Amino acid sequence: MSKFVKNLITGELTKRLGDIDGVAVLNPRGIDGNKNHSIRRKLHDKGLRMTVVKNTLARRATAESKLNGFDKLLDGPSAVIYGKASIAEIARTLQDIKREIDTLELRGIFFDGELYPGEKGVEQVSKLPTREEAIGQLVALILSPGRNLGAALKGPGGKLGAVLKAIEEKAPAGGAAPEAAAPEAAAPDAAAPAAGA
């Protein structure tokens, strides 16, 4: 391969991987055309791409990017998986593909300067929350003090309401009527002395 072609490939890899902060690497050896197409289709459905790379050119392309250091996963034929999905989503997708294709060798994942080698590394990353899950957990944490305060304020009021309702239910049905009748009875007595005068 000429130096000109190598520079073109390195430039293309730099363009593709330049803004990416996490990738997965697998070994494409032993994957026939049908399985390859199936893997690429499943990755495409999730917004991911798979690129088979020449290791030396991939090292050169990522030397000054956020992926500096992922080259430890490059050993022999390598395919790099990347995309706009979160790294946890990439790991989960690879685990699903691995269940269908037993011979698939997962080399690992590189994310945020950390290396997660092998299938255990992929499994570890798959348990991380996705961006949406992390935002949901954060919102729940932010809202929980308010929810607890609301419950604390509502709790005593609810108990007081229950006590008042119980008192109301136990009170006699005509309990309010005698109090209303008493002022009417007092009114004729006041009128009687006026008639005697």
The residue-averaged pLDDT of 3-13 equals 82
Residue 69, φ and ψ in degrees, nearest 5: 120, -15
Higher pLDDT, 147 or 56: 56
Task: Give residue 197's pLDDT.
Answer: 46
- Number of domains comprising the chain: 2
Instruction: Name which of 136-140, 145-149, 175-179 the model is least confident about.
Output: 175-179
Instruction: Name which of 22-36, 86-100, 159-173 the model is least confident about.
Output: 159-173
Residue with tokens 């609301």: 150
Q: Where are the alpha helices (DSSP H) in the chain?
A: 3-17, 33-45, 55-61, 87-100, 118-126, 131-170, 176-196
Query: Is residue 81 a part of any domain in this protein?
Result: yes
Q: Is residue 118 located within the same domain as residue 140? A: no
Q: Which of 128, 143, 165 is the last residue of a domain?
A: 128
Q: Is residue 120 located within the same domain as residue 153? A: no
Query: Is residue 187 a part of any domain in this protein?
Result: no
The residue-averaged pLDDT of 116-121 equals 86
Q: Is residue 103 located within the same domain as residue 14? A: yes
Question: Residue 1 is which amino acid?
Answer: M
Query: Is residue 194 a part of any domain in this protein?
Result: no
Q: Is residue 85 located within the same domain as residue 172? A: no
Domain region containing 61? 3-128
Higher pLDDT, 59 or 181: 59
Q: Is residue 94 located within the same domain as residue 163? A: no
Residue 160 has pLDDT above 80, yes or no: no
